[in-house]
Structure 1
Amino acid sequence: MAESSDQESKTEEPTEKKVRDALEQGQIPVSREASIFATLAALMVILSFLVGPGVLQLTPTLTGLLDDPGGFPLSNGADVQNLLNVVGLQALRFLVPPVVIITVFGLASSLLQNAPRLVLERIMPDLSRISPIGGWSRLFGSQGLVEFGKSVFKLTAVTSVVVVVLRSSEAKAFEAMYTDPVALPEMILNIAMRIVSAICIATIVLVAIDLAWARFHWRRELRMTKQEIKDEHKQAEGDPLIKARLRSLARDRSRQRMITSAARATLVIANPTHFAIALRYNREENPAPLVVAKGMDVIALKIREVAEKNRIPVIENKALARALYEAVQVDQVIPAEFFRPVAEIIYFLQSKQAPRPEKVQ
């Protein structure tokens, strides 16, 4: 009941990250019926192209062995090894091609559904896979019911196909009792080919339905709740509280560096407590005064405190201080429209050599 309620709460389609993580963990949509169909198709190819020629190649060896057993001496180990080599070589020639074809078809059925991935977690021991409770839920859950329905469909389809094919070949079966025994293998092969081909055609519908169901069931299992989407977005973008804290720390460090840089200033223009702009002017460093620090309120008081501590002139000019604060950033030279008023202040300081703060009206 709890699992059903949890599944009902997952109403949102999975995000790209959720799908990517599922693929990386080996959770991929796989149709088992596609593998069975590939095996049947491989068997059809084997019956159509390999069994006849293979039997013709194997027949002389078996005929010679059965007609003249004494022709193969077994007096010592070398004779036994020779017999095994002859018979084994012919058997390998007969069996290897079918095994290769079945393997290729099986691999193709898997590769065409999903790209190959090496996921070590899927082969690690997991006690939940042998849990009786988990096995019970798999058997009697929605997936178990779907598998049961597919099994019933396959059993019904295969039984119907076999019955229809055998009934259509009933007359040939009776005629076989009066025909040459040499023709029996070919007749049996033809009947087997008809049965396998009919089963392949019947299972095509099941394979198509199972492929669609596997994709649908996989997407449904990956569905997320609204809270999971929010948590994933928060994880991807970063926790807002942590990001705000980091920004606050960065601003604090920046302010501390800026206040420390105020000790290098040539003069400070203030308003008188709300704004403070620390300017450094050195012809060899910059063609115009450089803003090394600026601030409002508490930061402005800190800048003035540093200036007074280092005997840097503090000029109170409300309009100029406010205009500079809004127009210039730290580590930038002042714009051309401020050259004249700032130059007048610098000239005034150099001419008067003021040892303490002065107020310019």
Structure 2
Amino acid sequence: MAETSDQESKTEEPTEKKVRDALEQGKIPVSREASLFASIAALMVILSFLIGQGVQQLMPTLRSFLDDPDGFPLHTGADAQNLLTVVGLDALRFLVPLVVILAVFGLAASLLQNAPNLVLDRIMPDLSRISPVSGWNRIFGAQGLVEFGKSIFKLVSVTSVVCFVLRSSEARAFEAMYTDPVALPEMILTIAMRIVSAICIATIVLVAIDLAWARFHWRRELRMTRQEIKDEHKQAEGDPLIKARLRSLARDRSRQRMIASVPRATLVIANPTHFAIALRYDRDENPAPLVVAKGMDVIALKIREVAEQSKIPVIENKALARALYEAVQVDQVIPAEFFRPVAEIIYFLQSKQAPRPAKVQ
């Protein structure tokens, strides 16, 4: 019941990270029926192209055994070794192509479903795989019922196909009683090819259904709860509280550096309490005034306080202060549209600070 309720709570589709982790762990959707279909297809290829030629190559050796069994001396161990070598080589020439075809089709069935991925954890010993409770759940669970249904379908379909093919070949089977025995192998091969090809066609339907079910079941098993998605988001993006704290610390350090730069300013343009912009103008450094600090409300008051302590002139101009605050950035020169009003203020300050010439008597 606990597993059922836990599965029902997983209503969200898996995220890309969840899918990627599952693939890296070797949890991939696999259709067992695809491997069965590959084996049947390989058998059909063998019967169509290889079995006839292979039997013809093997027949001389078999004929020599049947026609002249005394032709192979077995007096010594060397004679027995020679006999086994001859028979073994002929058997290998017959079996190796069959094994290669079966292996290639089997590998193709796996590789076409999923990309190869070596996961050592999948081959490590796991006691849950031999646990009677886990085995009972696998047999009588949803997956077990699906496998049972597929087995029933395979049994019924294969039995029906074999019965249909054998019934359609019933006349030829009776005729074989009166035909030359030499023609029997070819007739048996033809009937076998018909049976295998019919089974292969019937299995295609099962493979298509099983592939769709494997993908659906795999995605269903990877579903997540809302809490799991939130936890994954926190792990990927970081805890919002921690990130907010880090951003706050970064802003505090930036403000401290900015306030520390105010004593280098040439003047401060302020809107009495709301805005303050500290500018530095030095022809040798920049062609236009440079913004060394700016702030609003509390920060503006702090800039004014530091400027007054450093005896930096503070010019109150509400419209200019507001416009500068919205248009400028720290450590950048002011835009061209502010050159004239700022230049007038700087000229006024410089003319006010310049010493007056002495009167000539």
Question: Which position in structure 1 is the counterpart of 2:250?
Answer: 250
**Cα deviation code 1:77-134 (max 9, x no counterpart):** 4333322221111111111111111111112222222233333333333333333222
**Structure 1 pair 336–187 and aligned structure 2 pair: CA distance change class (3 A):** same
Partner of 2:165: 165
Structure 2 segments unaligned to the other structure (5+ residues):
357-361
Question: How do 1:315-326 residues align onto structure 2 when only pairs under 5 Å count?
Answer: 315-319=314-318, 320-326=320-326
Alignment match, 1:87: 87
Distance change in 2, residues 1:81/1:258 (3 Å): same
Paired letter, 2:181: P
One-letter amino acid of the counterpart of residue 252, structure 1: D
Q: Secondary structure at the match of 2:113?
A: coil
| Aligned counterparts of 1:29 and 1:123: Cα–Cα separation in 2 | 17
Shifted more, 233-242 versus 143-152: the winner is: 233-242
Question: 2: distance between equivalents of 1:189 and 1:220?
Answer: 45
Q: What are the equivalent positions in structure 2 for 1:25-104 lying under 5 Å apart? A: 25-104=25-104
Q: Aligned letter for 1:145?
A: L
The share of aligned pairs that are identical, in percent, is 80
Q: Sort the Cα spacing of 1:191 and 1:8 in 2 relative to 1 into closer, same or farther, 3 A.
A: same
1:313-352 correspondence to structure 2 within 5 Å: 313-319=312-318, 320-334=320-334, 335-348=338-351, 350-351=353-354
Would the aligned equivalents of 1:270 and 1:314 in 2 still touch at CA under 8 Å?
no
After superposition, what is the alpha-carbon deviation per residue over 1:165-205, rounded to whole angstroms, capped at 9, x for unaligned?
33444454455445443333233323322322222222222
Letter of the 2:201 counterpart: I
1:262 Cα deviation (Å)?
1.7
Mapped partners of 1:86, 1:277: distance in 2:
100
Contact 1:267–1:312 (CA<8 Å) still a contact in 2? no
| 8 Å CA contact 2:268, 2:276 repeated in 1 | yes
1:356 aligns with: none
Residue in 1 that maps onto 2:184: 184
Deviates more, 1:85-94 or 1:218-227: 218-227
Aligned equivalents of 1:171, 1:269: Cα separation in 2: 110
SS in 2 for 1:291: strand
Structure 2 Cα separation of the partners of residues 132 and 352 of structure 1: 102
SS for the counterpart of 2:247 is helix
Tell whether the 8 Å contact from 2:276 to 2:303 is kept in structure 1 after alignment. yes
Structure 1 distance, partners of 2:45, 2:159, is 22
Distance across 2 between alignment mates of 1:40 and 1:272: 89
Residues 287/208 of structure 1: CA separation in 2 closer, same or farther (3 Å cut): closer
Contact 1:269 1:276 survives alignment (8 Å) = yes
Q: 1:329 to 1:163 in 2, by over 3 A?
A: closer
User: Aligned pair 1:156/2:156, yes or no?
Assistant: yes
Secondary structure at 1:155 match in 2: helix
Q: Is contact 2:37-2:207 (8 Å) kept?
A: yes
Superposed CA offset, 1:37-64 (max 9, x none): 1111111111122111111110101221
RMSD value, Cα? 2.7
When residues 342 and 84 of structure 1 are mapped into structure 2, their CA distance, relative to the original with a 3 A threshold, is farther
Q: Which moved more, 1:242-251 or 1:171-180?
A: 171-180
Task: Decide whether the 8 Å contact of 2:265 with 2:312 is kept in 1.
Answer: no
- Equivalent residue runs for 1:192-211 within 5 Å: 192-211=192-211
Larger deviation: 259-268 or 280-289?
259-268
TM-score scaled by length of structure 2? 0.86
Q: 1:208 to 1:289 in 2, by over 3 A?
A: closer
Distance in 1 (CA, whole Å) between partners of 2:171 and 2:265 is 113
Structure 1 residues 76 and 3: alpha-carbon distance in aligned structure 2, compared to 1, 3 A threshold: same
In the alignment, the residues of structure 2 paired with residue 76 and residue 350 of structure 1 have an alpha-carbon distance, to the nearest angstrom, of: 126
Contact in 2 for aligned 1:291/1:329 (Cα 8 Å): yes
CA distance in 2, matches of 1:275, 1:305: 13
1-side partners of 2:327 and 2:352: how far apart?
23
Q: Within 1, Cα distance between the matches of 2:293 and 2:12?
A: 51
User: Any conservation in 2 of the 1:11–1:225 contact (CA below 8 Å)?
Assistant: yes
Verify the 8 A CA contact 2:304 2:314 in the aligned structure 1: no
Q: Distance in 1 between matches of 2:249 and 2:288?
A: 32
Residue identity opposite 1:130 in structure 2: I
